[in-house]
Amino acid sequence: MTETTHNNATATTVSDERSDLLEALAKQRHFLRFTTRDLTDEQAGQRTTVSELCLGGLIKHVTSVERHWVEFIQHGPSAMPDFTALTEADWAARADEFRMLPGETLAGVLAAYEEVARETDELVTTLPDLNVTHPLPKAPWNEPGARMSARRVLMHIVAETAQHSGHADIIREALDGAKSMG
């Protein structure tokens, strides 16, 4: 972290790297949220492709992913499940992240996403060291013994958000022709 000293008091400022991470996260979050502009709850839960994905579900998924990865930065692999031990029922429950369930609203999904974003942003500005690493949780897609730094986790969150923002853009265009750009 960059530190600046004024009148014998030390004030911590956000480094260029952390500012870049925060800016990248903010930009990708904006594009994802933008795909839901002016939609009803019903539209946010509507599938427009052969997949299970809907706009509200994508935001729920990105919220969950970001929350779990931030917990990983703070607590290591114990913050995540052992993906190799999940049952069919566990996977079915995880699939609910990708759809709007009865009683869920777009406003509620967006509010939960905003809360997680605030928590992540706070962590980015206060984490003592972006180089801190933890072993990755057991998962078929993780190499045994692999580790990930906080920096790489944050870059992963940016990439995950950007990827799902693209999915959301396609879903929105199929829903009513609205585009994020162009």
How far is Cα 79 from Cα 19, in angstroms, rounded to an integer? 26
Residue 88 pLDDT exceeds 80:
yes
Out of 45-59, 79-93, 117-131, least confident range:
79-93
Residue pointed to by tokens 């057991």: 138
User: For the segment 140-152, what is each residue's pLDDT rounded down to a tens digit?
Assistant: 899 999 999 999 9
Out of 10-14, 82-86, 143-147, least confident range:
10-14
Neighbours of 132 (CB within 10 A): 15
Residue 5 pLDDT exceeds 60:
no
How far is Cα 41 from Cα 104, in angstroms, rounded to an integer? 8
* Residue 80 Cα distances to 11, 70, 143, angstroms: 34, 10, 16
pLDDT computed for residue 151 by the predictor:
97
pLDDT computed for residue 83 by the predictor:
87
- The class of domain 33-176 in CATH terms is mainly alpha
Residue 10 pLDDT exceeds 60:
no
Q: Give the pLDDT band (50/70/90) at residue 92.
A: confident
pLDDT computed for residue 9 by the predictor:
33
pLDDT computed for residue 76 by the predictor:
94
Pick the closest to residue 152 from 2, 17, 12 (CA basis).
17
Q: Is 153 helix (H, G, I), strand (E, B) or coil?
A: helix
Size of the chain in residues:
182
